[in-house]
C-alpha cells in the first residue's frame, strides 16, 4: 500500500497586479505522485514545474492564500492541513536545501538533540547517536561545530537532524544545489540509506542523472503537472523506453546523450495552453493534443500523460 498518494492535486494563488486587479496563478494543475515505504522516488523537472510547491504542501507550509484541489492521502487517511501540522517534523520531515540551517555557534550534537526534543522523541541523546550512526557518521561528530565538518558530513548531519524523529516520509527539496560531485554522492547515499531503513523518500532535484543512482522510480513534472512516472531501469541507453516526449527530451538534452536543446520554454502559470501543456514544444504533437488536456494513464505503477505514448 502506498505511504503517500497525491492524486490530481492542484494549487492556485491569487495575486494582485496593479491596483485592485487580481490574477490567478495556477501553479499546479494536475499532479500525481505515489510513494511506498522503503522507496525513493525522485521528482525531476525544471524550476517552476511545481516540485518545491508540492514539498511545501506536504509539510503544510504554503502561504495562506493558496487554493488547493485534488487529493493527498497519507497512510490511507486524507492529509489535511491539521494533520500536516501534526505530523510535520515527526512522521513527515523535510531535509532543507542549505547547511545554513545549522546553527554555526552550537555543536551539532546538541542541535540534533533539540530537533529530537521537538519531534517528541524519547531519550534524545540516544536518538541522536542512532541517527548519526544510520548516516554513517563517526560518533565523535556530535561534538563538532558545523564549520569543522566537511561539506559532505555537514549535509549528512543535516539529513540526520531532519530525520531524527525517524520519520516515515522524508522530503528532500533540492538537497544538492550546485554542489561538488563527492558531496552530492554522500548526500544521496544518505537518503538512500534512509529509504532502505523503511522510510519513503521524495527526492526533489533537477539533476536527473545523479538521481538515477539512488531512486527506485522517477516522477517527471512539467508546468505543474505530472507527465510521467517511470521505473529507474528505463532511463538508460538512448532513452527509447521512455514514454513521454518531454522525458525523452530531458534525456536527450544531457551532455552525455547528445546535448540536444529542445526549443521553447515552460509555459508560465498565467498563460497555460488549453490542451496538453507540452504540446507547443512537442515534436510529435497533433491536433488532438492541443484540443484537450490528456489524462494520466496508468499501467502498474508506470504513469504517462500523453495520448501518443
Partner 1 sequence: MSATSGATSDLRGVLVPRAGILGRLTDRRARTLAQIGLGVVALAVVVVAATLVAPSADATNLLARRQPPSLAHPFGTDWLGRDVLARTLVGLRLSLGIATLAASISAVVALALGAAAGALGRRVDAAVSWLIDLNLSLPHLVLMILIAFAAGRGARGLIIAVALTHWPTLTRVLRGEARRVSASDYVAVSERLGKSGWWVARRHLVRHLVPQFSVGLVLLFPHAILHEAGLSFLGFGLSPDAPAIGNILSEAMRYLPAGDWWLALLPGVALLSVVLAVDMVGGNLRALLDPRSVHE
Partner 2 sequence: MLEAGELWFRYRRDSPWVLQGVSLTVEPGEVVGLRGPSGRGKTTLARLLSGYLVPTRGRVLLDGSPLPAGAQPVQLVSQHPELAVDPRWRLAEILAEAGTGRPDPALLETLSIDRAWLDRYPHELSGGELQRVTVARALLSQAPYVVADEVSAMLDPITQAQIWSVLLDHARHGGLGLLAICHDDPLLAAVADRVVDLTGALRPGFVTHT
Q: What DSSP state is assigned to residue 261?
A: -
Interface with partner 1 includes 70 (CB under 8 A)? yes
Q: Using CA atoms, how far apart are residues 72 and 69, in angstroms rounded to an integer?
A: 9
Interface with partner 2 includes 81 (CB under 8 A)? no
Interface with partner 1 includes 62 (CB under 8 A)? yes
- Per DSSP, the three-state class of 195 is helix
Spatial CA neighbour of 297 closest among 287, 309, 285: 309
CB 261 within 8 A of CB 253: yes
- Per DSSP, the three-state class of 185 is helix
Interface with partner 1 includes 79 (CB under 8 A)? yes
Q: Using CA atoms, how far apart are residues 8 and 298, in angstroms rounded to an integer?
A: 13
Residue in 78, 120, 255, 261 binding partner 1, rule: CB under 8 A: 78
Question: What part of residues 235-274 is at the interface with partner 2 (CB under 8 A)?
Answer: 249-251, 253-256, 259-266, 268, 271
For cell 494533520, what's the residue? 83
Binding segment toward partner 2, per CB under 8 A, in 45-53, 75-83, 121-129, 295-303: 45-53
Interface with partner 1 includes 283 (CB under 8 A)? no
- Partner from partner 2, partner 1, none binding residue 250, C-beta < 5-8 Å depending on class: partner 2
Name the minimum Å distance from CB 275 to partner 2.
Answer: 18
Interface with partner 1 includes 284 (CB under 8 A)? no
Interface with partner 2 includes 180 (CB under 8 A)? yes
Binding segment toward partner 1, per CB under 8 A, in 64-72, 88-96, 133-141, 240-248: 64-72
Indicate the pairing of strand 200-205 with strand 225-231: unpaired
H helix or E strand, kind and range, residue 2: strand 2-16
For partner 2 (CB under 8 A), the number of binding residues is 28
Between 8 and 252, CB nearer to partner 1:
8
Name the minimum Å distance from CB 37 to partner 1.
Answer: 21
CB 199 within 8 A of CB 169: yes
Backbone angles phi, psi at 81, to 5 degrees: -60, -40
Q: Using CA atoms, how far apart are residues 7 and 109, in angstroms rounded to an integer?
A: 39
Q: Using CA atoms, how far apart are residues 70 and 30, in angstroms rounded to an integer?
A: 8
Between 68 and 213, CB nearer to partner 1:
68
Question: What part of residues 119-178 is at the interface with partner 1 (CB under 8 A)?
Answer: none
Name the minimum Å distance from CB 259 to partner 2.
Answer: 5
Interface with partner 2 includes 178 (CB under 8 A)? yes
Interface with partner 2 includes 204 (CB under 8 A)? no
Give me 53's grid cell.
510547491
Q: E-strand spans in 108-206?
A: 169-173, 200-205
- Partner from partner 2, partner 1, none binding residue 263, C-beta < 5-8 Å depending on class: partner 2
Name the minimum Å distance from CB 27 to partner 1.
Answer: 12
Measured in residues, the chain has a length of: 309
Q: How far from chain centre, in Å, is Cα 74?
A: 16
Between 14 and 254, CB nearer to partner 1:
14
Interface with partner 1 includes 273 (CB under 8 A)? no
The angle that helices 124-134 and 108-118 make with each other, rounded to 10 degrees, is: 110
Q: Which residues make up the interface to partner 2 (CB under 8 A)?
A: 44-48, 177-178, 180-181, 206, 208, 249-251, 253-256, 259-266, 268, 271
Amino acid at each position: 500500500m502506498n505511504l503517500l498518494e497525491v492524486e490530481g492535486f492542484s494549487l492556485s494563488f491569487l495575486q494582485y497586479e496593479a491596483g485592485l486587479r487580481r490574477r490567478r496563478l495556477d501553479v499546479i494543475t494536475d499532479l500525481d505522485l505515489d510513494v511506498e515505504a522503503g522507496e525513493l522516488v525522485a521528482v525531476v523537472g525544471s524550476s517552476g514545474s511545481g516540485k518545491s510547491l508540492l514539498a511545501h504542501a506536504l509539510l503544510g507550509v504554503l502561504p495562506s492564500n493558496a487554493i488547493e484541489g485534488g487529493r493527498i492521502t497519507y497512510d490511507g487517511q486524507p492529509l489535511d492541513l491539521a494533520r500536516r501540522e501534526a505530523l510535520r517534523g515527526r512522521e513527515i520531515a523535510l531535509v532543507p536545501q542549505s547547511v545554513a540551517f545549522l546553527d554555526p555557534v552550537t555543536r551539532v550534537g546538541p542541535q540534533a538533540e533539540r530537533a529530537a526534543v521537538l519531534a517528541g522523541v524519547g531519550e534524545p541523546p540516544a536518538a541522536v547517536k542512532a541517527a548519526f550512526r544510520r548516516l554513517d557518521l563517526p560518533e565523535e561528530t556530535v561534538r563538532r561545530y558545523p564549520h569543522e565538518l566537511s561539506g559532505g558530513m555537514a549535509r549528512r548531519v543535516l539529513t540526520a537532524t531532519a530525520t531524527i524523529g525517524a520519520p516515515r516520509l522524508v522530503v528532500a527539496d533540492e538537497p544538492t544545489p550546485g554542489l561538488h560531485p563527492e558531496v552530492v554522492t554522500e548526500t544521496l547515499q544518505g537518503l538512500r540509506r534512509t529509504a532502505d531503513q523503511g522510510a519513503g523518500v521524495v527526492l526533489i532535484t533537477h539533476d536527473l542523472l545523479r538521481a538515477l543512482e539512488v531512486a527506485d522510480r522517477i516522477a517527471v513534472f512539467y508546468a505543474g503537472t505530472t507527465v510521467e512516472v517511470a521505473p529507474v531501469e528505463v532511463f538508460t541507453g538512448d532513452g527509447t523506453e521512455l514514454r513521454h516526449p518531454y522525458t525523452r527530451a530531458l534525456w536527450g538534452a544531457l551532455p552525455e546523450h547528445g546535448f540536444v536543446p529542445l526549443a521553447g520554454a515552460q509555459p508560465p502559470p498565467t498563460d497555460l495552453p488549453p490542451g496538453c501543456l507540452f504540446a507547443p514544444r512537442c515534436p510529435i504533437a497533433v491536433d488532438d493534443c492541443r484540443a484537450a488536456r490528456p489524462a494520466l494513464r496508468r499501467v502498474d505503477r508506470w504513469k504517462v500523460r500523453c495520448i501518443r505514448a
